[in-house]
Structure 1
Amino acid sequence: MPSERPWLRLMDILDNARSVLAYTEGMTYAQYLTNPLVRDGSERCLARISEAAVKLGSFAPDLLPNHDWTGIRGIGNLLRHDYDKLNIDKIWQIIEFKLQPLIIDIEVAMRANGIPEE
């Protein structure tokens, strides 16, 4: 069942995506690989993003169709249940190339709908 508070779930995604980028700011892939604290924190935030996406149901893809919501939802299952099969390269690619565009699109959608970020 979709969330009754979809904008709050989008804010959860926004907050966690920003946290991941803050944790990894200025890091190279090699530094990320050798920092288990940052990796664990980033993965936990990605799991929260995934769970919020699940709770959004069709609201997210309807509002922001340019993002892979199936993949966003699916990464949570991988992090929770198949962590031993986790591809760290894929996580890094998400951090490097997927989060910032998602942040921007959520911010634009929130402004367009008069939703404050706090």
Structure 2
Amino acid sequence: MASLDRAAFEQNRLVYDATERCLSRISEASVKLGSFAEEHLPAHNWRGMRDLGNILRHDYDGISKTIVWSIVKDRLPPLLADIKQMLSRYPDDQEVL
């Protein structure tokens, strides 16, 4: 992703579809984490993550490539950093990310 600009991202069907699939999995994980996620990482929009999964699964025409790009570039990096920081407190309970 780092090598793609927005236009290339939106035009590369394979990358875009794979990104949607990964976002769907993140959404499902946020559902399974429930209140744990909100309690331990409150700075992130967990409701929005859950809602995104419903949009990706059911409202195909409602998906904005601009929003997907923004999520990938602006929202995921801080989420990943916070998750890694939280998991670093439990080194014996994790696999390599």
CA distance in 2, matches of 1:93, 1:73: 17
Number of aligned residue pairs: give it: 95
CA distance in 1, matches of 2:41, 2:89: 12
Structure 1 equivalent of residue 78 of structure 2: 101
Structure having greater relative contact order (Cα 8 Å, sep ≥ 6): 1
Runs of 4+ in 1 over 3 A off after TM superposition: none
**Aligned residues: percent identity?**
45
CA distance in 2, matches of 1:73, 1:117: 25
CA drift of 1:85 comes to 1.1
Partner SS for 1:74? helix
**Equivalent of 1:53, from 30, 33, 57?**
30
Deviations 1:31-51 (A, max 9, x none): 011100000000000000000
Point out where structure 2 has 5 or more consecutive residues left out of the alignment: none
CA distance in 1, matches of 2:31, 2:87: 19
Structure 1 equivalent of residue 63 of structure 2: 86
| 8 Å Cα contact 1:110/1:116 also seen in 2 | yes
Partner SS for 1:67? coil
Structure 2 equivalent of residue 117 of structure 1: 95
CA distance in 1, matches of 2:81, 2:43: 12
Structure 2 equivalent of residue 63 of structure 1: 40
